[in-house]
Amino acid sequence: MSRRAAGGGQIYLDHHSTTPVDPRVLDEMMPHFAGSFGNASSADHRYGHAAAEAVESARERVAAAVGARPEEIIFTSGATESDNMALAGTMARYRDRGDHMVTCATEHEAVLGTARHLEGSGVKATYLPVDGEGELDLGELESAIRDTTVVASVMAANNEIGTMHDVGEIGRITGERGVVFHTDAAQAAGHIPLDVRGMGIGLMSMSAHKMYGPKGVGALYVRGAKPRVRPEPLFRGGGQERGMRSGTLNVPGIAGFGKAAEIAVRGMAAEGERLRSLAARMLRPLEDAGGVLNGHPTRRLPHNLSVYFEGIEGKAIINSVADRVAISAGSACTASTVEPSHVITALGHGEGRAHSSIRIGLGRFNTAEEVDSASEIIAGAVGRLRRIGGG
């Protein structure tokens, strides 16, 4: 099943920005827009009961996908809200323990922006560097933890270069030091195995629209015991989600999220191998055209390619192929800015490499034929741009 039709003939290869809603997910959502339209907090009639049942069913599915208990899943509007709640809420709740947090230079702006905001209110933040492949030195992480450190936030997998961090080892280090470990798993959940208990995760952010679910819905896993974590809520009102996230629940979106999580986990192993093979197939002709892979060569998301073409603006490549292939320069959340990718510059390569890199995100509905066609189109565009530039 191709995504060409919706894109007016384009081959869609920007799955890190968002994924199309899987038809099976849409089928799960549709009844909750009309016939079963109740408010999940309305306990006095069958409409409310049906909505509540849909929400709890989805909660069970999302929890099962990451090894959590259903009551540890708090539904939110997306990973950005979850990141904000995890960091701001945890620092506020445990301010008597300390005023320090640790994070990583290559985090998503939802984490970095929250950390900078907290610094304005007296929180001290340490931003750990990464090596040239985007990996964190775990010894530096351990050294950065102080007696006053409350939370450490390190993403499971990077949204631009695909490098995966050793979440289990980070969980062990933080657990031994009594620090709450938060991981932004927006790009990882549904794509690689995650086990919140086995990995020592205290808080984990997820997003439905990165795993073929709808936009506008996400979740925060909040560990319920051994030890319990409980951030201060960002929203107050009706007390929904056990008082941690007030507001009328997005029942259709939550139902879709649950179905998307179930589908993703069921097919994860086979789909991961398929996408890894397609990524390798696509990378070869791009390397023949002078491309160099950003990020770790093997410890990376199976569907990610971040490729650097020396001397050519990434935006020029993207614009040259835009009528046929949908790719991006980096995070969709900062695509309107002209600043170079903070992720690429954090690798130590400089702004030139950041400006000359493109991001490709393969997906569930891409075919080998599409990959071959897209590779040829991108490589052709690179060749034309080199000739125009005299390179």
pLDDT digits (tens, 9 = 90+) for 226-251: 899 999 988 999 889 888 898 999 99
Task: Specify the range with the lowest mean pLDDT, choosing from 75-79, 123-127, 346-350.
Answer: 346-350
pLDDT greater than 60 at residue 391: no
Is 217 in the same domain as 331?
A: no
Is 306 in the same domain as 332?
A: yes
Dihedral over Cα of 140, 83, 335, 331: its sign: positive
Is 40 in the same domain as 170?
A: yes
Is 173 in the same domain as 82?
A: yes
Q: pLDDT band at residue 151, thresholds of 50, 70 and 90?
A: very high
> Mean pLDDT throughout 296-304?
97
Give φ, ψ of 124 to 5 degrees: -100, 130
Task: Specify the range with the lowest mean pLDDT, choosing from 32-36, 100-104, 304-308, 366-370.
Answer: 32-36
Is 237 in the same domain as 310?
A: no
Q: What is the pLDDT of residue 5?
A: 43
pLDDT greater than 70 at residue 164: yes
> Mean pLDDT throughout 187-209?
98
pLDDT greater than 90 at residue 337: no
Is 256 in the same domain as 374?
A: no
Residues of the chain above pLDDT 70, percent: 95
> Mean pLDDT throughout 32-37?
92
DSSP string, 286-349: HHHTTEEE-S-SSSB-TTEEEEEETTS-HHHHHHHHTTTEE-BSS-GGGTT--SPPHHHHHTTS
> Mean pLDDT throughout 156-161?
98
Q: What is the pLDDT of residue 336?
A: 52
Q: What is the pLDDT of residue 1?
A: 47
Is 197 in the same domain as 311?
A: no
pLDDT greater than 90 at residue 334: no
- The β-bridge relationship of strands 100-104 and 149-153 is parallel
Is 288 in the same domain as 260?
A: no
Q: Are 124 and 100 within 8 A, CB to CB?
A: yes
Q: What is the pLDDT of residue 168?
A: 98
Q: What is the pLDDT of residues 67-114, one digit of tens each?
A: 999 999 999 999 999 999 999 999 999 999 999 999 999 999 999 999
Q: What is the pLDDT of residue 35?
A: 87
Q: What is the pLDDT of residue 9?
A: 81
Q: What is the pLDDT of residue 243?
A: 84
Give the total number of structural domains in the chain.
Answer: 2
Is 261 in the same domain as 273?
A: no
Last residue of a domain, one of 207, 238, 265: 265
Last residue of a domain, one of 265, 284, 307: 265
Q: pLDDT band at residue 340, thresholds of 50, 70 and 90?
A: confident
Q: Are 6 and 20 within 8 A, CB to CB?
A: yes
Is 36 in the same domain as 101?
A: yes
Last residue of a domain, one of 232, 265, 298: 265
Catalytic center residues: 333
Q: Which amino acid is at 234?
A: L
Where in the sequence is the domain holding 17, given as residue range(s)?
5-22+268-389
Q: pLDDT band at residue 147, thresholds of 50, 70 and 90?
A: very high
Q: pLDDT band at residue 7, thresholds of 50, 70 and 90?
A: low
Is 243 in the same domain as 291?
A: no
pLDDT greater than 80 at residue 389: no
pLDDT greater than 70 at residue 120: yes
Task: Specify the range with the lowest mean pLDDT, choosing from 46-50, 60-64, 69-73, 143-147.
Answer: 46-50
pLDDT greater than 70 at residue 3: no
Query: Could you count the other beta carbons within 10 Å of the beta carbon of residue 351?
Result: 12
Report the DSSP beta bridge partners of residue 14.
361
Entry field: residues in the chain: 391
